[in-house]
């Protein structure tokens, strides 16, 4: 137990340099690249004096090192600055949009894990049979279907042709979002006021986007689970379990899958990047008012503080989830200690 606590503390401390490097990379990309926020904001024909004034206002005329220290200092105080185009704080805008993205990615990930892990385990069980080949083929093909195109096709089929499901937004017209805006997570909000009609509406809007995201990522999980399961199924304790007369299904889906799940968990940490990228694309396709939409809208408007803020939040999420995965990993598997 003391070992575990020590590991968690060390691992948490190790996250700091990683976050620091990520923040530095973001700074370098956004400041040192060609392309000047001020001139693109004011247009190419603004007089020199106005540009100078604006640069001073934004603190862009100071030396790079001073800007860098100021940038890190403000982030440490959770201050991401103000939007350049709208009267709002960057943190406020992000706080408003983040729950939508988290809701989408959580459901997407759930679908991925259920589908990917189950199909992968099933394929490993039926290895070298037609069903195995079919599932492997599914894994390869679904991986090559861009998430945005899958989203468009699902919209076309289920939203336009069959007209079963809504294709845009988080809620329908009849749900007044202001009535229950507490946490921003609509599922939790509707449950808090026990408005089941609205909850149903929210869930229906989640179906297509989360399946789009979940299906796309499931290919990788099919592959990973299958490979890990093949290793595990060869182990001696599987043979021992078979000798004891435990049913085959029980062995594959309980004994083996439990052990194959540990490496899958680590890979899950690495897939967070893919999940985030997928979320941005899914949000655009489904007009989902989350972080991805915010980022792209502000790129059109050249709202640099907002772009920077959104990217920083994504970096923090990635760092946090990889930390979380490592800690869960350590709790699940006592052999893992540094």
Nearest of 318, 326, 338, 304 to residue 19 by alpha carbon: 318
Question: Between 117 and 295, whose beta carbon lies closer to another protein?
Answer: 295
Question: Between 24 and 183, whose beta carbon lies closer to another protein?
Answer: 24
**Which residues have CB under 8 Å from 111's CB, separation 6+?**
210, 211, 213, 214, 215, 218
Quote the Cα angle for 316-332-187, to 5°.
55
According to CB under 8 A, which one of 71, 122, 180, 314 is a site residue for another protein?
314
Instruction: Find the part of the chain contacting another protein (CB under 8 A) among 42-50, 107-115, 272-280, 328-336.
Output: 272-280
Q: How many CA atoms lie within 13 A of 334 on its CB side?
A: 3
Judged by CB under 8 A, the number of residues near another protein is 52
Q: How far apart are CA 168 and CA 15, in angstroms?
A: 37
Q: How far apart are CA 323 and CA 317, in angstroms?
A: 10
According to CB under 8 A, which one of 217, 307, 325, 330 is a site residue for another protein?
307
Question: Between 113 and 318, whose beta carbon lies closer to another protein?
Answer: 318
According to CB under 8 A, which one of 38, 104, 123, 167 is a site residue for another protein?
167
Contact between 156 and another protein (CB under 8 A)? Answer: yes
Counting beta carbons within 10 angstroms of the beta carbon of residue 77, is it exposed (0 to 12), middle (13 to 18) or buried (19 or more)?
exposed
Minimum distance of another protein from residue 140's CB (angstroms)? 6
As beta bridge partners, residue 89 has 82
Helix (H, G, I), strand (E, B), or coil: what is residue 280? helix
According to CB under 8 A, which one of 140, 196, 239, 324 is a site residue for another protein?
140
Nearest of 261, 211, 202, 204 to residue 231 by alpha carbon: 261
According to CB under 8 A, which one of 161, 173, 174, 334 is a site residue for another protein?
161
Question: Between 151 and 199, whose beta carbon lies closer to another protein?
Answer: 151
Which of the residues 199 through 238 are near another protein (CB under 8 A)?
A: 226-227, 230-231
DSSP state letters, 170-214: SS-TTS-GGGG-SSS-HHHHHHHTT-HHHHHHHHHHHHHHHHHHH
According to CB under 8 A, which one of 16, 29, 72, 324 is a site residue for another protein?
29
Q: How many CA atoms lie within 13 A of 338 on its CB side?
A: 12
Question: Between 199 and 295, whose beta carbon lies closer to another protein?
Answer: 295
Binding interface with another protein (CB under 8 A): 17-18, 21-22, 25-26, 29-30, 33-35, 133, 140-141, 143-146, 148-149, 152-153, 155-156, 160-161, 167, 226-227, 230-231, 270, 272-274, 276-277, 280-281, 284-285, 295-296, 299-300, 307, 311, 314-315, 318-319, 322
């Amino acid at each position: 137990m003391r070992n575990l606590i020590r590991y968690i503390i060390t691992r948490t401390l190790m996250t700091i340099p990683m976050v620091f490097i990520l923040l530095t990379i973001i700074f370098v990309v956004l400041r040192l690249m060609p392309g000047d926020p001020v001139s693109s904001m004011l247009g190419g024909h603004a007089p020199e004096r106005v540009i100078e004034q604006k640069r001073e206002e934004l603190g862009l005329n100071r030396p790079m090192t001073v800007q860098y220290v100021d940038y890190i200092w403000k982030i440490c105080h959770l201050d991401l600055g103000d939007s350049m185009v709208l009267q709002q704080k960057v943190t406020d805008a992000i706080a408003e949009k983040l729950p939508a993205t988290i809701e989408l990615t959580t459901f997407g990930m759930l679908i991925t894990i259920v589908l990917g892990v189950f199909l992968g385990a099933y394929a490993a069980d039926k290895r070298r049979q037609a069903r195995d080949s079919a599932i492997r083929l599914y894994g390869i093909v679904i991986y090559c279907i861009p998430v945005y195109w899958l989203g468009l096709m699902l919209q076309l089929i289920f939203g336009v042709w069959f007209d079963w499901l809504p294709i845009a937004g988080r809620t329908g017209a009849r749900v007044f979002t202001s009535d229950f805006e507490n946490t921003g997570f609509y599922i939790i909000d509707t449950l808090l006021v026990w408005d089941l009609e609205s909850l149903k509406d929210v869930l229906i809007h989640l179906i297509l986007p989360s399946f789009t995201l979940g299906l796309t990522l499931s290919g990788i999980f099919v592959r990973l689970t299958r490979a890990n399961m093949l290793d595990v199924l060869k182990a001696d304790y599987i043979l021992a379990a078979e000798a004891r007369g435990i049913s085959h299904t029980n062995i594959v889906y309980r004994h083996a899958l439990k052990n194959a799940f540990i490496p899958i968990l680590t890979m899950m940490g690495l897939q967070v990047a893919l999940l985030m990228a997928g979320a941005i694309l899914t949000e655009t396709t489904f007009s989902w008012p989350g972080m991805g939409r915010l980022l792209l809208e502000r790129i059109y408007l050249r709202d640099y503080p907002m772009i920077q803020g959104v990217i920083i939040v994504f970096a923090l999420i990635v760092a946090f989830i990889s930390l979380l995965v490592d800690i869960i990993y350590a709790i699940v598997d006592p052999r893992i200690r540094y």
